Structure 1
Amino acid sequence: MLRLRSAVFRAVAPPSRVLACRFSAAPIPAPNTQPEVHYNKLFINNQWQDAESGKTFPTINPATGEVICQVAEADENDVNKAVKAASDAFRLGSPWRRMDASHRGLLLNRLADAIERDAAYLAELETLDNGKPYAVAYSVDLPNVVKCLRYYAGWADKWEGKTIPIDGDYFCYTRHEPVGVCGQIIPVGHLIQQASGSSNLKRVTLELGGKSPNIVLSDANMEDAVEQSHFALFFNQGQCCCAGSRTYVQADIYDEFVERSVERAKRRVVGDPFDMKTEQGPQVDQEQFNKILGYISSGKREGAKLMCGGGVAADRGYFIQPTVFGDVQDNMTIAREEIFGPVMQIFKFKTLEEVLTRANDSKYGLAAAVFTKDIDKANYVSSGLRAGTVWINCYDVFGAQAPFGGYKASGVGRELGQYGLENYTEVKTFSFVLLPQSLKMTVEEISI
C-alpha cells in the first residue's frame, strides 16, 4: 500500500515544468509586438462584412490603454442575417446537410491545420487584445484549441445510436441528430438563462462562474502545494472561471504555507505580456481592473490581513500587483464573490469534516482541488466536494477528452469530451414492425 501511494501521489512538477512537457518542446518564436489586424468585420455567410448600421466599437490594448482598432458592432439585424445563413445551411437537402460525416471531420482537421500554421500570429493577437502573456498564448492556448478541434474531428463519423430490444415484434433504434442553429455567447450567462427561460424554453448550456476551493492537507508536499496553489489562482491574471480562489490550509502548516505563498507572489513577474519572462500581464479591461481593486479594498475593510500586493503595478495599463490575503473568514465579501483577478485568499481549517462543509458552502460548484499524500484522504475529500471537476495534487489539468462544467450556480451541461456532444444533439427513436401481421399470427399459433 505504501508503494502504491508513493507511485500514485508522487510530487507533481511546478506548473512551468508541467506546461513545458505537456505541450511542444519546440522553441517559442519571437513575437511581433505590433501584429497587423487583418479582420475587424462581422463574418456572416462565409463573408466579412460591415455591421448593417455601420457602427463600430474600439478594442483596447489593456497593457497600454490605447485603441488597437475599431471593430464592427453587430445588432439585431446582423444577428438575424447570421441566423438565416445558418438556417439555410441546415435546410433539408442542402449541401451542408448532405455532407458525409467523415468529410465534416476532414474540414475540422483542416481548420486545426490552419491554426497550427498561424499559431504565432494568433498568439500575438491574443496578447495584444487581452493582455495574456504571449508565451502562454502560444504554448498553452493555441495547442489546446488545435487538440479540441482534432478531438471532435475524430467524433464526426462516430456519434452512433443504439439498437434497443423493446417488447413485441418490433425493431427499435436511435439516431443522434443536430439540434439545429446554435448561438454561442461567451459572457453574461445568467442573462442568457433568464431570457431563454422567459421565452420559448430554448435549450441552454452554461459554463458560469466559480469560487473554487483548493484544499491543502497537512501531509501535502509543501513545495508543490505552494507552487500549484499559486498557479491555480494567478494563472491568466486570475481571470479563470475555475481559479482556486479559496485556498484552505490545515492549521498545523498554515503559517509556513502563507509565508511561502507570499514569497512566491512577490517573485511573480508582472509586466509587458510580449516579454518571454513575464508571468502576469494586465487585466483584460478598465472595468475589470476597477472591480478587482474594489474587492481588495473590501478585503482590507472587512478585516482580512493583506500580506502583499494590493495596489496598481504600473503607471499605465491595467496591471495589478499579485495580492495575498491571510486570515480570511468565510463570511467576507472576498470569500463569497468571484473576484476574477490576481487576489489569493487563504483560510485556516482543522478537520476534514469542517473543510468539506465550508468548501461546499457556496452557490458555486465549478472546480476544486485537494493536496495530500494519503490516497484515502484524497478519495474522502474529493468524493465529498460538490464540484464538476476535482483535481488531486494538481490544478488546471484539462483535456479535450474530459468533460468540464459545474454544479449549482456554476452552470448547466458539460463542455468537451463525449458529454459535450449531448448538448448539441437530439435523440430520435425509430420503431417499426419487424414481421408482417399475417406472419406474426402464424408464429403465435405455432408457439401455442
Structure 2
Amino acid sequence: MSDFEVKEITPAAPTSVDGDARAARRREARTLLFGDLWEYAPAPESTAVVKVRERYEHFIGGRFVGGGEPMAVHNPATAEQISEIPAAGPDVVDRAVNAARAAFGPWSARPASERAKVLYHIGRMLQERARELAVLETLDNGKPIAETRDVDLPLAAAHFLYYAGWADKLDYAFPGVSPSPLGVAAQVIPWNFPLLMAAWKIAPALACGNTVVLKPAETTPLSASVLAEICAEAGVPDGVVNIVHGDGDTGRALVSHPGIDKVAFTGSTEVGRQIQRTLAGTDVRLTLELGGKGANIVFEDAALDQAVEGIVNGIWFNQGQVCCAGSRLLVQESVAETVLDKLRDRLATLRVGDPLDKNTDVGAINSAAQLERIADYVRIGQAEGAQMHQLACDLPDKGWFFAPTIFTHVAQSHRIAQEEIFGPVLAVQTFRTPDEAVELANNTPYGLSAGVWSDKGSKVFEMTRRLRAGIVWGNTFNQFDPASPFGGYKESGFGREGGRHGLLPYLRLR
C-alpha cells in the first residue's frame, strides 16, 4: 500500500505521481527488513494532574467575577464541551480598564527591582506547574502534549524570567533617554499559542511598569485563567493584570475603550486592519502581529536530510496553525525530486491522533470553523490545478482532524500560494537561481518569516538581507528565544515582541 493516497475532494481528484510508487516500494522494503518494529504503543498523558472547572470567570481587580452570557469551551480532540466562560460586555470591559487604571500609579511607582521579583516569581511558578498547564493547554487547544510540554510551557516561563532581568535595567537598555511606562495596555491574543502569547504580551508590559487587560481567544481561555491565579499568588497587586473573556465583540469593546494607552494584537490580518482603523487619529500606541505565508527555501547545496526535518517542523508543528509557518516550500529544481522523495518518506512516519498521546505528532484542529476553512482551501487548490498528496492515515472518529497535505505543481498565482491557510497544508514550488527564489518568496502580501537552507553561510546571509521577512531562520525553522525580537512587514503587521525591542512598545522615551 502506498504511503500516500490521493483523496478526492470535489471537484476532482488528482492523479497519482511516480513519487508515491517509489515511497511505497521503500516502505515495503522496510517492512520486510524490520517488520512492525516501528509501531508505537499508546502513551497517553494522565489528565489527573489538572481539574477543569465547569465555568471560568473574568479576573478583574484581583478577583474572579462573573458577567455576560455563557460561551461553551470545547476539547478539539473530541468536540465535546469541557467548560464555559462568560462573554464580557462593555460594562465588564469598562470595569477591567478602570481597575487597571487605578493600579497603574502604584505599580509604576514601585521600585523596578520589586517588579523584577514578581515577574521572576511568575516564571518560576509556571515551571513548577508546567505539567498541569501543558495538559490543560492540550485539552483546550488540541495541539500534541509533546509540544505544550516541550515548547509552549518552557518558552512562556522563559519570557517572564527574561523580562524580569530587564525590569531594573531600562535606563541601560535605552541610554541617553528617560524611559517611562505608557499606562494601561489592552492585549488581544489568538488561540494557537494561548499561554505563550499571554506571556509574550504580559511580561514586557509589566516589566516596564504598565498594567494590562488581556482578552484570550474565546476557544482557548483556560490557561489564561490559571495564569491569573499564578499572578495573584506571585504577588501581582490587584488590578495590575486583568483578564476578560469573550469573542470579537469583547475585543472591539476593549481596543476602542477611551481609557487605554496601548493596544497589542496578535491574530488575523483582517482584524488587524479593523483595529488600525479604530485607532486612527488617536494617540493610542499600536503593535500588530498578523498573518504570514512563510517561504522555506532549500538550495541544492543544503544538507537535505536536515532540511526535510526543518520542512516538517515548519509546516506541521501545531498542525500548521502558526502565523510564521513555512507554508511555502521553495526548492531548487536540481534537487526537487530528491527533496520530495525524502519528504514523502518522512511524512509517512507522522502520527495523527490523540493530542494527549506522547507519540502524537499532529493533533487536532482548534475548531470546526478552522477545519472547514482548511478543507475549503484544499478544494480551492485542487480546482486551481495543483496536485494534492495526503498522508494515508485513519483520522479519529470524534474531534476535528485533518491529514497533513502537500500540494505540488503550484503556480505563484494560486490562492494556496498567496493566502494564509493556517493549517497542515504545504504548497511546493521550484526555482533555478537565488534571484528567482527571492522573487518568489517576496511576491506575497505577507512578510513575517522565512527559512534558508544552504551549506554556504555567505548565501544564507545574502538571502537574509534580500528577503522581506521579519524573521529569517538559517538552516532551521520555528526556533524561538525570548531574547530575539519577532514581528513582520507588510500585511504581517508592525512592531516587535521579544528581546530588548519588545520593551519599546510599552515605553515612552524622553
Cα separation, partners in 2 of 1:252 and 1:322, compared to 1, 3 Å:
same
1:376 Cα deviation after fit: 2.2
**Residue of structure 1 aligned with 2:274, choices 165, 170, 191:** 191
Give, as a single letter, the amino acid of the residue that structure 2 aligns with 1:35.
Answer: V
Counterpart residue number, 1:120 = 131
Contact 2:126 2:157 (C-alpha < 8 Å) held by counterparts: yes
**Residues 159 and 176, structure 1, Cα contact 8 Å, conserved in 2:** yes
Equivalent residue runs for 1:8-87 within 5 Å: 30-32=45-47, 35-38=50-53, 40-51=56-67, 53=68, 55-87=69-101
C-alpha distance in 2, partners of 1:286/1:295?
15
2:400 to 299, 310, 318: 318
Is this contact kept in 1: 2:368–2:400, CA < 8 A?
yes
Q: Alignment partner of 1:423: what SS? A: helix
Counterpart amino acid of 1:157? D
Contact 1:323/1:344 (<8 A) preserved: yes
- Equivalent AA in structure 1 for residue 134 of structure 2: A
Aligned counterparts of 1:234 and 1:69: Cα–Cα separation in 2: 28
Aligned to 1:179: 182
Determine the C-alpha separation between the residues in 2 that align with 1:310 and 1:329.
25
The answer to whether the 8 A contact 2:49-2:132 is kept is no
Unaligned runs of 5+ in 2: 1-42, 190-266
Report the CA distance shift for 1:314/1:427 in structure 2 as closer, same or farther (over 3 A).
same
Identity of aligned residues (%): 39
Residue 411 (structure 1) aligned with residue 414 (structure 2): no
Equivalent residues of 2:44, 2:356 under 8 A apart = no
Q: Distance in 2 between matches of 1:159 and 1:115?
A: 25
Contact 2:44 2:357 in 1 (8 A): no
**Deviation of residue 263 (structure 1)?**
2.2
Matches within 5 A, 1:24-423: 30-32=45-47, 35-38=50-53, 40-51=56-67, 53=68, 55-91=69-105, 94=106, 96-160=107-171, 174-186=177-189, 187=267, 188-197=271-280, 200-309=282-391, 313-423=395-505
State the shift of 1:226 in Å: 1.0
> What is the TM-score of this pair, normalised by structure 2?
0.73
CA contact (8 A) 2:173 2:500 kept: no
CA RMSD of aligned residues (A): 1.9
Secondary structure of 1:340's aligned partner: coil
SS of match in other structure, 2:286: coil
Deviation track 1:253-311 (CA, whole Å, cap 9, x = no partner) reads: 11111122122222210000010100111100001000000001111110111122499
> Structure 1: how far apart are the matches of 2:352 and 2:343?
16
Question: After the TM superposition, which of the residue ranges 262-271 and 285-294 deviates more from structure 2?
Answer: 262-271
Task: Return the alpha-carbon distance in structure 1 between the equivalents of residues 284 and 378 of structure 2.
Answer: 39
Retained in 1: the 8 A contact 2:182–2:508? yes
In the TM superposition, residue 141 of structure 1 has moved relative to its aligned partner by 0.6
1:340 Cα offset (Å): 0.5
State the shift of 1:90 in Å: 1.5
Structure 1: 5+ residue stretches without partners:
1-27, 165-172, 429-448
What SS does structure 2 have at the residue aligned with 1:205? strand
SS of the aligned residue for 2:187 comes to: coil
Give yes or no for contact 2:315–2:326 (8 Å, CA) kept in 1. yes
Secondary structure of the 1:226 match is: helix
Q: Structure 2 counterpart of 1:177, which letter?
A: S
| 1:32 Cα deviation from its structure 2 partner | 1.3
How many residues end up aligned between the 2 structures?
A: 387
| Contact kept in structure 1, 2:72 and 2:81, CA below 8 Å | yes
Whether the 8 Å CA contact 1:369–1:392 is kept in 2: the answer is: yes
Displacement after TM superposition at 1:175 (Å): 1.0
**Residue 252 of structure 1: SS of its match in structure 2?**
helix
CA distance in 2, matches of 1:350, 1:294: 31
Structure showing greater Rg: 1
Please give the alpha-carbon distance, in whole angstroms, between the structure 1 residues aligned to 2:394 and 2:469: 33
Q: Cα–Cα, structure 1 residues 65 and 30, in superposed 2: closer, same or farther, change >3 Å?
A: closer
The answer to whether the 8 Å contact 1:266/1:322 transfers is: no
**Aligned partners of 1:319, 1:381: CA distance in 2, in Å?**
36
| Shift, 1:151, TM fit | 0.4
Query: After superposition, what is the alpha-carbon deviation per residue over 1:209-229, rounded to whole angstroms, capped at 9, x for unaligned?
Result: 100111000111111111111
Structure 1 Cα separation of the partners of residues 350 and 452 of structure 2 = 23
CA displacement, residues 56-90 of structure 1 (integer Å, 9 cap, x when unaligned): 10011100110011112111111110100111111
Q: Name the SS for the 2:365 alignment partner.
A: coil
TM-score by length of 1: 0.83
Amino acid at match of 1:160: D
